[in-house]
Structure 1
Amino acid sequence: MADLFDDALPAERAPERAAPLADRLRPRTLAEVIGQDHLTGPDGAIGRMVAAGKLSSLVLWGPPGTGKTSIARLLADAVGLRFVALSAVFSGVADLKKVFAESRDHARAGRRTLLFVDEIHRFNRAQQDGFLPFVEDGTVVLVGATTENPSFELNAALLSRCQVLVLHRLDEAALGSLLDRAEADVGRPLPLTEDARAALLASADGDGRFLLNQAEMLFDTAPAEPLDTAALRDLLQRRMPVYDKDREGHYGLISALHKSIRGSDPQAALYYLARMLTAGEEPLYLLRRLTRAAVEDIGLADPQALAQCMAAKDTYDFLGSPEGELAIVQACLYLATAPKSNAVYMAQKKAWKSAKDNGSLSPPKHILGAPTRMMRDLGYGDGYEYDHDAEEAFSGQDYWPEEMTPETYYRPTDRGFERKLAERLAWWDERRAQRPD
């Protein structure tokens, strides 16, 4: 993983000491961007573009504090483009028209523009359409940054003209390297115990900018003695998870919680949930793991398990802590006491493998739609039997590609609601077998 800076900052490169720590530690080359080697490395999409000297329009999608703005600025430098930045939060149509006009003038003079748009998903559909002609004719190379899923938030027309690159949240190693660089810049270590340092890293949740802002506050405070986890929590007014040296406080406890739910031990599950919540673990992290357990270990044995988790998430969003934590407890106990089945989980794995192994087989013609006359002439839709017109609303037709033998992915257990599903599937299979060829 690339380091953010060399161990010492040369005097001629040292920024003004009055600048915020996060600004002082901004990378100066793409090689110094931390945590995104899958993009900026020699084999990454950005690395290949820079090596070729050709840059296409991009959408950088990733969590806050992962380097989107820095990458855009450094891209412009690397390929010799003029850099212009806008925020969709503060910019409107007039700002865009001005940028496009100036960029066109610079293009005529032989210099193209990289237009960086932060929070691009905040532009409405009409504003997004306004980018299209200027991207198409090369007036600007657009680099948009978003924390939201581009497939939901950006126009299909704009997405088709951009390559979407996904930035990863910074892992513990990357965040630790950031703190190392911060200490080298300031010239002294952070005033924290080892456990408190680990808790500070965990509290950043992959956000490098947040981490550096918290570190700067600690440097400015300059306590006489290193702070432990409790003192750090009091200073920053954030609940800090207690992480010990072997990180049992995070990965070990979340594993114990999940396995206690899977093993139908509500008392143990509640104990581990309490351990994590009282230590300061993020409630939404726990809700995500509970939701995963609902679909992986319970599934259709009790379809309400997933609903309980989503309701707990909504309740926590509405009430906050500590009242909303009661909803998390309810969801945890519901999952631990629910009938268990991993049939949905296993069905997904088998179906995904089958889809990859069998390629792009066409469904049989009788279940294909026929919106045009040509398709109707070719026999699309011929012989389709409308199930609601059949006895028991079941025709028993074959829906599989002709080149493929029907397979069984989902095998319900005899536990909970899946017992009824097993009976239903057996009834359908029996009638399919009785259907004349």
Structure 2
Amino acid sequence: MPDLFDQPGSDAAPAASGSAPRPLADRLRPQRLADVVGQEQVLGPEAPLTTMLASGSLSSLVFWGPPGVGKTTIARLLAAETDLHFVQISAIFTGVQELRKVFEAARLRRQAGQGTLLFVDEIHRFNKAQQDGFLPHMEDGTILLVGATTENPSFELNAALLSRAQVLVLERLPLARLELLAQRAEAELGRPLPLDGPAREALLEMADGDGRALLNLVEQVAGWRTDAPLDKTALATRLTRRAAQYDKSGEEHYNLISALHKSVRGSDPDAALYWFTRMLAGGEDPRFLARRITRMAVEDIGLADPQAQGLCLDAWNSYERLGSPEGELALANAVIYLALAPKSNAAYTAYKAAAAAARKTGSEPPPKVIRNAPTRLMKEQGYGKGYAYDHDAEDAFSGQNYFPDDMPRASYYAPVDRGFERELKKRVDYFARLRAQRQTS
């Protein structure tokens, strides 16, 4: 089932006529949903689209997925299988006036007895008001909306529009599906690709899960005239590797930094390095990574290894002095160190618990005994009266109460029995015993 290609335009265009050459991707465009490669999670026997078509109740949809996985193709085939007139627009090139014309044409078409499937590519690029403009036409049946987006609909589309459409996730094509697509391309071209096995696999990897990109690469490679199959080195010389999908301001940015953070937290230096270098390869600012790595030291290691934070700051400073690409190695050192450091979120948890208590208790004043008394009036009011100077107490510990008078004593910091916090735990327990003794006496 080729889940391919998105092409801009309005109504469905007829096949190219005459002798004009047609791109391989267009020649292999599926004619039936059953021909689509991949996306079994939406097109399989019990999947949402199959169920909708079987019941005759196709609803408005939003296809969310990376480029080249079949969003436009599936929308076009849905229109064909439901006898709806297919209209395609792009949010990049369509303004308010064009939208009004599309809606009016759909209204006239509906009066004549035919429905309209309106496919909106890059739908997330419409602003809130434009997205709201679709709602009445969806509700009265003038259009059946199928939107396509590479961005997370939860962040980019209005809640009102999402409540009227079902979001279906389309996924990158795995290597097995790309291989099937390559075989179909070879059958269409009438000759095998001039590549040996490892080079063929490298070509599939270059497509990075994008079916359209693969067919463009196949068409290019198929045109080469060679005496023998090319190996990986020869292929790499003739082709430039396609850049991996990475949007520094989009969801993929947050997905990868989450993967890096969780790999460090999970004490896996190899996975952490992989995600770190993936982000660098995608063009991420190393300073952003330096900041987030330092945050990991503070949040997930804390006082279990007090050196971790300083090491991250040193790595950050080293990057600033060395620049790229040498400075990235300093950050990589920090990533490895953090992944292998003892882990504790005790300080992070204590901070959040104390902050929640501070918000809850509002303006509770400190007990008078520990308030400063710089003036006579304040002394007369009892400020500082009875304060026990800890250095004068046994063990330099008075055990007096430092919380507000009306607030029960709370315990926020619970160090773990790992790393340096094992020593801090002994200290916490020691002072707790002394406090109990002082209060008893």
Q: In which range does the TM-score fall when normalised by the shorter chain?
A: 0.5 to 0.7
Is residue 227 of structure 2 the alignment partner of residue 224 of structure 1? yes
Question: Which residue of the other structure, out of 34, 38, 43, is the alignment partner of 1:40?
Answer: 43
Aligned to 1:363: none
Check the 8 A contact 1:175/1:201 in 2, yes or no: yes
What is the aligned residue count?
Answer: 344
Residue of structure 2 in register with 1:130 after alignment: 133
- Among 139, 158, 168, the alignment partner of 1:155 is 158
Q: Deviations over 1:403-429 (max 9, x none)?
A: xxxxx9x9745436898799899999x
Structure 1 residue 389 corresponds to structure 2 residue 387: no
Deviation of 1:172 after TM superposition, in Å, equals: 1.1
- Say if 2:61 is the partner of 1:58: yes
1:111-190 correspondence runs (5 A) = 111-190=114-193
Compared CA separation, residues 387 and 22, structure 1 to 2 (3 A): same
CA contact (8 A) 2:66 2:170 kept: yes
Conserved? CA contact 1:294–1:335, under 8 Å: no
Deviations 1:214-271 (A, max 9, x none): 1111012233322211211121123899xxxxxxxxxxxxxxxx79x9477xxx999x
3-state SS of paired residue (1:184)? helix
User: 2:37 is paired with a residue of what secondary structure?
Assistant: coil
Q: Which amino acid aligns with 1:159?
A: L
Paired residue type of 1:329: L
Equivalent residue letter for 1:206 = G
SS in 2 for 1:152: helix
Instruction: Give the letter aligned to residue 233 of structure 2.
Output: A
Question: 1:322-341, aligned counterparts within 5 Å?
Answer: 324-338=324-338, 340-341=341-342
- Cα separation, partners in 2 of 1:21 and 1:40, compared to 1, 3 Å: same
Q: 2:206 matched to which residue of 1?
A: 203
Among 264, 273, 283, which residue is 2:281 paired with? 283
C-alpha displacement at 1:298, in angstroms? 9.5
Answer yes or no: is the 8 Å Cα contact 1:229–1:240 preserved in 2: no
- Quote how far apart the aligned CAs of 1:14 are: 12
Task: For residue 65 of structure 1, give the secondary structure of its aligned residue in structure 2.
Answer: coil
Q: For residue 91 of structure 1, what is the amino acid of its counterpart? A: T
What is the aligned partner in structure 2 of residue 379 from structure 1? none
What amino acid does structure 1 have at the position aligned with 2:341?
K
Q: Classify 1:14/1:175 alpha carbon distance in 2 versus 1 (closer, same or farther; 3 Å).
A: farther
Unmatched 5+ residue regions in structure 1? 6-12, 242-257, 316-322, 349-366, 368-383, 399-407, 432-437
Aligned to 1:10: none
Q: Which runs of 5+ in 2 are unaligned?
A: 5-14, 245-262, 350-355, 367-401, 436-441
Q: Secondary structure at the match of 2:88?
A: strand
Which SS does the other structure have where 2:223 is aligned? helix
Give yes or no for contact 1:262–1:297 (8 Å, CA) kept in 2. Answer: no
Contact 1:58 1:144 in 2 (8 A): yes
From the CA coordinates, give the structure whose radius of gyration is larger: 2
Which AA in structure 1 matches 2:281?
P
Distance 2:172 2:21 in 1: 28
Question: Aligned letter for 2:32?
Answer: T
The normalised TM-score by structure 1 is: 0.64
Shift of 1:164: 0.8
State the Cα deviation string for residues 306-346 of structure 1 (Å, max 9, x = none). Answer: x979x99xx9xxxxxxx7544543332111123524566xx
SS state at 1:60 partner? strand
Structure-2 residue corresponding to 1:193: 196
Say if 2:82 is the partner of 1:84: no
Deviation per residue, 1:28-51 (Å, 9 max, x gap): 111121120010112111111111
**Which residue identity lines up with residue 419 of structure 2 in the other structure?**
R
- Mapped partners of 1:77, 1:215: distance in 2: 28
Quickly say closer, same or farther: Cα 1:263–1:144, change in 2 above 3 A. Answer: closer
CA RMSD of aligned residues (A): 5.0
Match of 1:215 in 2: 218
Change (3 A) 1:269 1:145: closer
Change in CA separation of 1:122 and 1:4 when aligned onto 2, cut-off 3 Å? closer
Q: CA deviation at 1:295?
A: 9.5
**Residues in 2 aligned to 1:425 and 1:105: alpha-carbon distance in whole angstroms:** 79
The change in CA–CA distance for 1:412 and 1:154 in structure 2 (over 3 A counts) is: farther
Tell me the TM-score normalized by structure 2. Answer: 0.63
Amino acid at match of 2:331: A
| Cα 1:57/1:17, change in 2 over 3 Å | same
